[in-house]
Structure formats: C-alpha cells, structure tokens
Structure 1
C-alpha cells in the first residue's frame, strides 16, 4: 500500500486524505514525517504518525484503519454520538481522532481555523448548534489542559466563552495530566470534562476517567501501565526491534503496549503516577529531560547542572535547571537562563525550554556520587 506524506498541517487537506484512507480507497497518510520513509506500508494502514514518543526521540507509529475505527466506535459507545469540533492540530493523534470520529459518524466536523484563541473557539462552538427531528445534536470536542486553562481564564471575563464551554455534551481532555484545580474550575463553570489517557500507540485516549474503553485491557507489570485491545498500533515503521520491545505478546498471544508510565489500579480505576523514564509531558508534548540536560550543560557556567521536572499549572509539567551558585555566578542568573532556553529551543524546540533556573549551595548526591534527582526535585518543589 502506498504511503503519501502530507506536507503541512492543513486540517481540511488531512480530512480529505484521511476520509479516503479510512474507507480504503486512497493511500496511507504520513503525518509529521522528519526523515525519509518507505514508499509503501502494509495493507490496511491508514496513517503513519511521527511522534516524540515516550523517549522524546521521534518515532513513526503505524495506525491501521481498524485501530482508528475501533477507537472512534468505543468513544461513541462511552460518551455518545454527535458533531465534533477540531480545536487541536490534525497531525496530533487527539486531533486526528476528532476527524476519524466525524468520518465514522458520517458528519462533517467543525474546524477551528488559524491559531487557537478563546474567542475563535467560542465562535466555532456556537455555530455548531443543530437539531434532527426536533432533537438537539450533541456536540463534542477534544482539548489539552493548556487550552482548557486559557478558555477558563477568558470565561471569567467573556460570557460567550463560558457559554461555549457549557455547550458541549463532553469535552475530552488529554495529552497530559489535568491538574485537579483546573478540573474543579471547569466543573464549577458547568463544563462536562472527561479526562483521557492514551498515546499515539493506542490511537489516542483509550482510558476515560481511569476506566478503559470497551475492548481495552489494562494491567500493571512491575508497576508499569500496559494496555491492550483493538486500538493498538501495528508498531513503528522501519523499526522491528523497537516494535518487539514495546509491543509484547502474552502467553495466549494477546498484544500489550508498554506505556513507560508508572501507575496503580484502585477499585478498577487506573491512576497514572508519572513516567518511569526521565520524560515529562509539557503542553501535550513529550520532552526528554536527559536531552534538555545535555544541552543545558553545554552553556558556560552550567556544566554541572541537573534538569528536573516539576508540576506546572498551565502546561502540566515543566523543566527546571538546578545549578550550584559557585559555578552559575560566573555570569548573571538571567543571562544563563536565557542562554539555556535559547540552546534548548534551537536543538529541540521552544516547547522544551526550561521554565526556571534555581541556584543552590550544593547539589544532593547519591552514595555513588550521582545527582540525587528525587531529593533535588523535592527541594525545588518546596520552594514553590
């Protein structure tokens, strides 16, 4: 089957190509590709999405028509059917799934054009009102926490934004953990929020408010969350060894995806406790703290710095550079932070820039002499 890269992020172009791929008439789509890829993929493939993955290093995830459709149908079974508003990039799996759900429901999605703003979101949402046989058609959308935060801030002053948020039957929020204070604000406003958990490898969110969608399995192995079911990706394009390492088969042949997340299950509800590896999710994008630290240490005066992740009310998580005063004071603190941010933005992207620089007398270490990252993280958290 032919693989056709999609240049750019035009949602209408992606929708046209995706509709053909889902129905089996057209080539598979290649979204976000950063390197040369094979000209063909296995039959049944709908989309190949290049993602930062759990390591912050790009991987190309192969998603079949069956997996994407199974995800859309399971979502409809859980929250209901209706019309969808696309407010996320269509090349991002959560945005892509909004389009898939619209295609499966045989409805034209509303599309937020241009940059995301609360006013544009409200205008798009309020034009979706429609009815069939005198019955209102429910509306749905999908957001990341940073978008929800902007909408809630705007709703304090703009009644139109508040009305728009309340107009949706359900707003799916995923991509990263939703801070409890943000959820409480949304609920107090009357917005109906469902927290989703999943990844590109699971065709987007497959666990809603801690409970898996129909057909999805959840288990913990050595504290790691693993997922199974019809929404799983086929694997990583051109990387069979990585595919075999991440997608496992149990004794009865069932495939499981290793998420790399730590979690626990209480009364049948999954609670994710963060990454097992040294990765944060900021604004819905995975960022390897190891990569950020390597770059930061190239900045004069920060060669011994440690980069840790901390909770962030706006972005979910953010990175903080921690360095000793003796080394860092060779130049001003503000200059060093800006140089570190510029270096990280240049190599990884602006989303990965450290939020703060914290100076300490000495860095906590383990008996081995390595930085005690957990102790450093606790010390920084105590400063908030």
Structure 2
C-alpha cells in the first residue's frame, strides 16, 4: 500500500499555506515557510557531515540509517530536529533527559548516534559520556538559559543553521525511512522501537479518513491540512511518545503546535494561560499527574473570580496513565465544551483502545485491535471468560533495534495477521468492549492470587485525601509477596480508612497490607508511574524497620 512520509508532506503543506502559523513558543512565532527553511538548513548540516541513509537491506530489527539523538527539553529545536532529520534521511530518536551517566551511556551504546542535538544544560553529561562511545558523534549545542559554554568540538546550533543552505534537499525521502522511539524503560532497559515513518503517520499520527482508512494521496492530505485549524498545546515531554505524537499529529493535520512557556516541567497556570491566550483546540494529558494540577488551577482561578476562558478547546487527549473519574468530572465542569478522551496503547502499538466520558470503565477497541487468548495463539470472541492479552494489528513497527529475540516475542502472527502484544492483560466483554487489567510486568502474585497494580492504584486514587498512589510488592513470609501502597496524601487518611475504602471495591487479597506515605513525586516527567522510586521507598522503610528491630532495647525507648 502506498504511503506518505513526514518530510514530503510537511514540504507540500508549507507550499500550500506558507504564511500560516506553524509553531509558537512564548513571544516567538514561526510560519510554515520559516519552519521549512530552518529544518532544511539542519538537514543540510547533517548531510554535509556525511549523515544519511545507506542503500542496503537489513533485518527488521536493524536500521540502515545514521541516527540523531534528541537530548532536549520541549521547544522549537525538538521539532526542527525531528523534521530536519527526516529530510536528511537520518533516523531521529528520543533521549530521556533525566538519565544519569551510566543510563545515558547504555542508551547511546544501544542507539549508536552519529549526531547529538542537545540543550547546553546537558553539555556536562555529554562531555562525561562521549568518550565511552565507539565513535565521536557530531555535536550540535542549543544555547539556553543555563549559560553553559560550547563544548570543545561542538557546533553552535544557531550559527550552524545560519551558515547552511535553505534550498530543498537533493535527496528523495521515503515512507520506509525510520523513526526510532525509545521506550521509557519503566519495566526494563529502554528499547528502540523501529517505526517506518509511513506506518507512524497512518497509525499514531492519525493521517486517516473519517472511516479509518489511511490517506495515501499527497494532494488529499494537503487539502485536508489546508482546512485544518487545530492548535495543539504540547505540555508532556517530547522525549516520550505522547508529546511527540501529539505535535507531529497536529502538523500532519495542518495545525499549529504551541508550547507553554515552561518546558522543563508542568506549570498548570502557565499551561492554562498559554491555552487561553493562543486559543488552543487540543491539549494532551498524561493521567492524574497532569489533570490534578490543572484542576487545582481551574478551581483557584474560579474562586478568585477570574476563570479561564477556553471556548475553542475541544479535546483533552489523555494517554499513558489514568485520570480518576472524579477528577475528570470536575475538570469537565470547568470546560463544558470539551471532552476527555482516554487512549491506551504503547510505543509499540500506538493507540489500541479508547474511551470517553468521566464514568466510563471499559474501552472501545480501536481499528486493528484484538484480545488474544492466554497462550497468545488465537483471538478471543466477545464474552469468552478468559483473561487474555491486548493486541494490535494494522500499522505497526518493524521491531526493536538490535534485538531479534524481543522482536519475535512481541510481534506475532495470529490467523495470518501480524499483531503486536506489548504486555497488557485484558478481557473482551460480551458487548465488544475491553476491560483492561494492566501490565503483566506490574502484576503482583500474592498468596497464589494475581493482583494488577493499576486496578488497586485506581481505587486508591479515588479515595478522599489521596493525591496519588502506586502499588508494589515486597517479600512476605506468609504470602510470598505482599501488596504495599505508596501514597502521596492530599490530606491525612488513616490506614483503617484506606482499608475500608479499598474493601468496598476490592477483594480482600487485593487490599494493601501496608500504606507508606511520601511527599516525593511518584511520577516520571511524562506522567507515567515511577515504580523504581516506589520500590526504593518500600525497601528503605523495610531497612529502617529491620534496623530498629535489631537495636538494643534502650535505644528503642523500652529500657527497664
């Protein structure tokens, strides 16, 4: 099936609407013509340093491209980096800017970047790890408020662009060119997911008709984009799929991408001020980590007599983490013209199931979706009482970079169709909707019973006084593993109240045996659960308890 590619589509849309706004950040505005010129200049810089695609056949888990690492906070350079890389036929990939040196070195060892585009504040980390790489990459440093000087051997980004040509590139891009998305590594080492850009566009980026069929005609895609009036406010970090897909999806539809002023974390007041000022139509969210601060700011503004006015906002697109039903309902009270759409998927599948409405508990299957049997050998029919695996067909990645074993284990052929099975357990109900139980990797086996952490977390987050909650397992002599909840309290609910609240909705074996409280954040920058932090808190509490138990009686206050 013929497909389009990002570079060619962006060029064609820019030719049709050259003076329309394409990108906005603070008081800076770029038209489609200006973004085209800057991304061409970056592509010329990459090509002049010998980077591009090699004409060779490689297995589905390998890449024929040179790779560009994007080690950046959100901002115009991130989008220019993505687009410029594709114009140069270089495969871009995301870098988690929270990584410490060993994690960064591991990522670069796996991804083998030929070039790194990075904000100046990350220059010290680059300097420490670059000598551990097999080759010295091209370093392009973006000046920022940190004031960190240019690394030795690095090129200043703006100076390089200013000296480069802005003519069209003398290379023909292709839907077969790769876009690499590294997973967050929350359940293991990060893995580079290899998307053909053509598949990415008709999958996660939404280049499809109303009936779900892919748009493969360039003139049709340009005409659709020319009618587009979307303004997408991207708050989630683009180092993860939710942010990148929201931004590029907006561009594929001819929309303008808007960034809030603060790009190194969520500032709800700044985000809503930007949304109001710029008349945004869509805002991506990442679970309660985004929705709760936004709700608090909406409440504050209303109480102060100056509510936010967002008449053009139509969609809050939530992915990667859940929003509590009560939080949804209260947000929609402030935004009666908008809807909250939940999409559940992964870096490997795109969006597999969707739902709307504050009270909805089950999901509708997205096109190409399926629930496989427990042995992953067949598709389940609606109403089969078997806990299976959520799967997705259609436009899919090729595999994992450098990992044929993991590729074969995750991408299956069932009944002649290629499907991806990222690891979510699910049940297909009689009405055709999907009940999602959670990731197998976060399942806790306690006393012979399987407990899905996300189910318990959802109940806890709905209890009064609980701002956030994660659930992990810890060793237990009685149960093998017992469930422990790590809470960030908004008030001070006692353990008994928490147990009673859980007991109304959960079987006894699912109720946490202990509740730990912390003021620390339990979320990664993209809003996903930080299970490593939760496990560290549980381990530290266990170590403190053991030390107390071993201390002399007088030290414990029990002398005489």
TM-score of the pair, normalised by structure 2 = 0.48
Match of 1:128 in 2: 278
Task: Assess, with a 3 A threshold, how the Cα gap between structure 1 residues 140 and 313 changes in structure 2: closer, same or farther.
Answer: farther
Pairing 1:55-134 to 2, within 5 Å after superposition: 55-70=187-202, 71-73=204-206, 77=210, 82-114=230-262, 115-129=265-279
Cα drift, residue 208 of structure 1: 1.8
| 8 A contact 1:67–1:233 mirrored in 2 | yes
Are 2:82 and 1:18 equivalent residues in the alignment?
yes
Match of 1:239 in 2: 403
Cα drift, residue 103 of structure 1: 2.3
Task: Assess, with a 3 A threshold, how the Cα gap between structure 1 residues 310 and 273 changes in structure 2: closer, same or farther.
Answer: farther
Listed one character per residue, the Cα deviations across residues 11-52 of structure 1 (whole Å, up to 9, x for unaligned) are 322211222345x54411121264213548995212232422
Match of 1:7 in 2: 71
Are 2:336 and 1:193 equivalent residues in the alignment?
no
Distance 1:93 1:258 in 2: 18
Distance 2:324 2:195 in 1: 30
User: Out of 143, 156, 162, which is 2:299 matched to?
Assistant: 156
Cα drift, residue 158 of structure 1: 0.6
Judging by fraction of residues, say which structure has more strand.
1
Pairing 1:286-325 to 2, within 5 Å after superposition: 289=472, 293=474, 306=482, 308=484
Listed one character per residue, the Cα deviations across residues 235-269 of structure 1 (whole Å, up to 9, x for unaligned) are 211111011111111131x2212132222233222
Alpha-carbon RMSD: 4.2
Distance 2:211 2:331 in 1: 21
Pairing 1:190-229 to 2, within 5 Å after superposition: 190=336, 191-203=338-350, 205-209=351-355, 210-213=363-366, 215-222=367-374, 223-229=387-393
Match of 2:163 in 1: none
State the SS of the aligned residue for 1:172: strand
State the SS of the aligned residue for 2:77: helix
| 8 A contact 2:471–2:484 mirrored in 1 | no
| 8 A contact 1:321–1:358 mirrored in 2 | no
Distance 2:403 2:307 in 1: 46
Distance 2:255 2:321 in 1: 28
| 8 A contact 1:125–1:164 mirrored in 2 | no
TM-score of the pair, normalised by structure 1 = 0.67
The unaligned stretches of length 5 or more in structure 1 are 130-137, 298-303, 315-319, 324-332, 342-346, 360-384
Task: Assess, with a 3 A threshold, how the Cα gap between structure 1 residues 268 and 240 changes in structure 2: closer, same or farther.
Answer: same
Pairing 1:249-264 to 2, within 5 Å after superposition: 249-252=413-416, 254-264=417-427
Match of 2:290 in 1: 147
- Aligned pair count reads 313
State the SS of the aligned residue for 2:333: helix
